Structure 1
Amino acid sequence: MATIDRQATTLALAHALSAAEHGLAVIPLSRRKLPALRSPHRLDPVPLPCHGECGRFGHGVHDASTDPGRIRALFAAAPWATGYGIACGLPPHHLIGIDLDTKSGTDAPAALRELALRHLFTLPATVVVTTPSGGRHLWLSGPPDVAVPNSAGRLAPGIDVRGAGGYLVGPGSRTEHGVYGTAPGTAHLPPAPCPPALLRLLLPPPHTTARSSPSTAEHRGQGDGLIQFVLAAHEGQRNTRLFWAACRAYENGIGADLTASLVEAARSTGLTEREARATIASAARLTAQRR
């Protein structure tokens, strides 16, 4: 087993160095897809915020580098590493990762296609990384002056976003569940620019005042889109779609006005009124906690 681990570490380092040659900053990862090096401050009586200013390794994505010497030193300090992470949001690519999950019972690729149709954007040809569970990571390049936040399920059920401060598991990494690879025909591609319409969806909604709040027509348009999203749910995704739509409605200030329509849409997909109202109430509580 030790020999296999050494081989996996050697391969991970080779892949990491190759990624760095293309301008991607990397860190070593364990088989659990976590940063392989623990924080040097974990035993401090009162840990102070540190992003690597102390000069030691173990600061997660803040250790990421494109320098071959530093990368070799990181892997030498973590001989148990079997994979590598690629930091998002850093120059020159300002990488954004769209993680299409398949484990949650949702059809994330279909949800992304729906978003593309509804918001009139086309997904460009770009790097696609395959995961051991059958999921896919789409690599996109963002503008240098925009920090895309990390999110889980905010864009649509089953779609996670890796942005500034996050990282993607690099192709060639070996984990507890298998090996990450590159989809055929995409390994030679650079991360494609993120479509502007998609980029707007990835950013948090701007804070509005009463003077600049959306018009009734805009609210109606938002509400219609959310209702259609719920109506399109198949068995196994009805509750997650309703929860996502209710969260977006409350974030946009139309949750209370849209509740009755959301309940009716959910009932038409097979949920009971009690189930629908409980899900919407959970979304309302979660959204209130985030404010």
Structure 2
Amino acid sequence: MATTDRHDRQATTLALAHALSAAERGLAVIPLSRTKLPALRSPHRDTPHRDAPLRDTPVDPIPCRGECGRYGHGVYDASTDPARIRDLFAAAPWATGYGIACGLPPHHLIGIDLDTKSGTDSSAALRELALRHLFTIPETVVVLTPSGGRHLWLSGPPDVVVPNSAGRLAPGIDIRGAGGYLVGPGSRTDHGVYSTAPGTAHLAPAACPPSLLRLLLPPPRVAPQSPVPASVGDHGRGLVQFVLAAHEGQRNTRLFWAACRAYEDGIGPALVDPLVEAALNTGLSEREARATIASAARMTGHHP
């Protein structure tokens, strides 16, 4: 037991050292556990309506992102300040790795995660995309994962928000963008240690090729074709725009919240079709959108 504890302390010390080194390069970091998840639990875990909204529960659509001043908000805790990083690791002495937040200045990091577990050749898929869309992956930082995968680090423009996605670009290729993080080299997990590929540790993240960047961005959203009835006023149009502005991971939550407000204000039936079309534009299926709206109707005492 003493030997295990000593090894864990050594892993934490090494992780902190690597995290501080990354911060010196302008990369904001957080401590991670051996499972690759943020090491600090949410301080709001006993209030699920804030951090883990359920579809059938009216929710605050904007969860706390650290405004409360406590640690445990995942990537929103990320920092380049050495004192804050030491405090984060002191609060999580079981941490054995660190995560690097994506999308933040100065690098606006984008991670191309080439997985090996999907049964597909993700590297070949990326090469095929490069040939088809006429781009070349520049020389950049490459991190080797314990499972044999690779993380390619690229830098994005400061005025572009690249969303996280899994398999959308191609099977086996995940994208880490704004609100996501990459496991930093030197991190120890249950499956092994992440390391920098030879000859890339000294590099800065290279600029993402414009043709690839266009593939990483979601298609532009258009206004719903179903007209918003004049009878619902600006409030109804605002609810539709609220749904249209949803990003991946908050689409159902925003739709449910907007539908609840619509039914509570007596404009629910008139807004069903515009809300469905808005949800379709965010990537939800029609069946899922209508089920969510029907759930909101029942929750507010109406019959869909």
TM-score normalised by structure 1 residue count: 0.72
How far the C-alpha of 1:207 sits from its partner, in A, is: 2.7
Identity of aligned residues (%): 82
Number of the residue aligned with 2:137: 123
Number of the residue aligned with 1:83: 97
Amino acid at match of 2:108: H
Amino acid at match of 1:200: R
Distance 1:205 1:287 in 2: 16
Determine whether 1:153 maps to 2:167: yes
Amino acid at match of 1:189: L
SS at match of 2:113: strand
Number of the residue aligned with 2:16: 13
Residue 289 to residue 95, structure 1, CA distance change in 2 (3 Å): farther
SS at match of 1:56: coil
Number of the residue aligned with 2:214: 200
Aligned match of 2:182 in 151, 168, 174?
Answer: 168
Residue 179 to residue 288, structure 1, CA distance change in 2 (3 Å): farther
Number of the residue aligned with 2:26: 23
SS at match of 2:137: coil
Distance 2:284 2:135 in 1: 30
How many equivalent pairs are there?
Answer: 218
**CA offsets 1:127-167 (integer angstroms, 9 cap, x no match):** 00000000000000000000000000000000000000000
Number of the residue aligned with 2:258: none
Distance 2:114 2:189 in 1: 18
Distance 2:118 2:12 in 1: 30
Determine whether 1:94 maps to 2:108: yes
Distance 1:170 1:203 in 2: 24
Number of the residue aligned with 2:7: 4
How far the C-alpha of 1:44 sits from its partner, in A, is: 3.3
Aligned match of 2:204 in 162, 169, 190?
Answer: 190
Residue 99 to residue 45, structure 1, CA distance change in 2 (3 Å): closer
Structure 2 unaligned segments of length 5 or more: list them: 51-59, 226-282, 290-304
Aligned match of 2:65 in 51, 56, 59?
Answer: 51
Q: Which runs of 4+ in 1 moved over 4 A?
A: 208-211, 285-291
Number of the residue aligned with 1:140: 154
Determine whether 1:37 maps to 2:40: yes
